[in-house]
Structure 1
Amino acid sequence: MYIKKLLLIIVGITVIVGAVFAYFIYDAVFSPNTAFNNDTAAVYIASDATFQDVLNDMKPLLDDVDSFVSVAQKKQYDRNVKAGHFIIKKGMNNNEIIDAIRSKNIPVKVAFNNQERIQDMAGRVATQIEADSLSLINAMLDKDFLTSQGLNEETALTLYIPNSYEFYWNTDAKGFRSKMLKEYKRFWTAERKSQAQKADLTPQEVYTLASIVQKETAKVDERPRVAGVYLNRLREGIKLDADPTVIYAVKKTANDWDMVIKRVLYKDLETQSPYNTYRNSGIPPGPIFMPDVSSIDAVLQPEAHDYYYFVADVENFGYHKFAKTLSQHNANSAAYRRWINNKGINR
Structure 2
Amino acid sequence: MAKQKTSAGGTFKKFIVALIIIVVLALGGTLLFYYLRYFGPNVTGNEEYLYIHTGENFNDVYKTIRDKNIVKDTATFSWAARNMKYVGHVKPGKYRLHEGMSNRKFIRMLQLGEQEQVQLSFHVFRTKEQFAGFVGKKFEADSATLLHYLDSADFVKQYGFTTDNAFVMIMPDTYQMYWNISPEKFYKRMYTHYQNFWTPARKQQAAALNLTVPQVSILASIVDAEAVYDDEMPIIAGLYLNRLRQGMKLESDPTVIFAMNDFTIHRVLNKYLSVNSPYNTYLHTGLPPGPVMMPSVNAVKAVLNPDKNDYIYMVAKEDFSNRHNFATNVAEHNKNAQKFRKALDERNIKK
CA contact (8 A) 2:168 2:295 kept: no
Shift of 1:115: 2.7
Shift of 1:340: 0.4
Who is 2:204 aligned against? Answer: 194
Who is 1:162 aligned against? Answer: 172
Shift of 1:110: 2.1
> Match of 2:286, as an amino acid?
G
**Structure 1 residue corresponding to 2:83, chosen from 74, 90, 99:** 74
> Match of 2:34, as an amino acid?
I
**Structure 1 residue corresponding to 2:156, chosen from 146, 149, 171:** 146
Who is 2:29 aligned against? Answer: 20
Who is 1:55 aligned against? Answer: 62
Q: Deviations over 1:7-26 (max 9, x none)?
A: 65344323212211211211
Who is 2:131 aligned against? Answer: 121
Distance 2:95 2:284 in 1: 52
Structure 1 position 106 matched with structure 2 position 116: yes
Who is 1:262 aligned against? Answer: 266
Who is 2:322 aligned against? Answer: 318
Structure 1 position 36 matched with structure 2 position 45: yes
Shift of 1:54: 2.3
Distance 1:296 1:56 in 2: 49
CA contact (8 A) 1:208 1:286 kept: yes
Shift of 1:239: 1.1
Shift of 1:232: 1.2
> Match of 1:81, as an amino acid?
V
> Match of 1:106, as an amino acid?
E
Distance 2:159 2:100 in 1: 50
> Match of 2:52, as an amino acid?
I
Q: Deviations over 1:202-223 (max 9, x none)?
A: 1111111111111111211211
The range that moved more, 11-20 or 189-198, is 11-20
CA contact (8 A) 1:263 1:345 kept: yes
Shift of 1:29: 1.7
Shift of 1:335: 0.4
How many residues are matched?
Answer: 339
CA contact (8 A) 2:278 2:284 kept: yes
Shift of 1:43: 2.2
CA contact (8 A) 1:85 1:169 kept: yes
CA contact (8 A) 1:112 1:125 kept: no
Who is 1:254 aligned against? Answer: none
TM-score, scaled to structure 2? 0.90
> Match of 2:316, as an amino acid?
A
Who is 2:3 aligned against? Answer: none
SS of residue matched to 1:281:
coil
Indicate the structure (1 or 2) with the bigger Cα radius of gyration: 2
Shift of 1:130: 0.9
Who is 2:4 aligned against? Answer: none
Q: Deviations over 1:116-175 (max 9, x none)?
A: 333332222211111122322232232223333332111111121122211111111112
The range that moved more, 101-110 or 287-296, is 101-110
SS of residue matched to 2:48:
strand
Distance 1:310 1:228 in 2: 12
Q: Deviations over 1:29-53 (max 9, x none)?
A: 222223228xx93222111222233
CA contact (8 A) 1:243 1:264 kept: yes
Judging changes above 3 Å, is the alpha-carbon distance between structure 1 residues 230 and 338 closer, same or farther for their aligned structure 2 residues?
A: same
Shift of 1:183: 1.6
Runs of 4+ displaced beyond 6 Å: none
Distance 1:63 1:308 in 2: 70
> Match of 2:53, as an amino acid?
A
What are structure 2's unaligned runs of at least 5 residues? 1-7
RMSD of aligned C-alpha atoms?
2.1
Shift of 1:77: 1.4
The range that moved more, 73-82 or 133-142, is 133-142
Structure 1 position 291 matched with structure 2 position 295: yes
Superposition map of 1:241-280 within 5 A: 241-251=251-261, 260-280=264-284
CA contact (8 A) 1:195 1:300 kept: yes
Shift of 1:108: 0.9
Who is 1:302 aligned against? Answer: 306
Distance 2:53 2:295 in 1: 32
Q: Deviations over 1:45-88 (max 9, x none)?
A: 11122223323433433233332222222211122111112222
Shift of 1:188: 0.9
Distance 2:345 2:312 in 1: 25
- Percent identity at matched positions? 36
Distance 1:266 1:47 in 2: 52
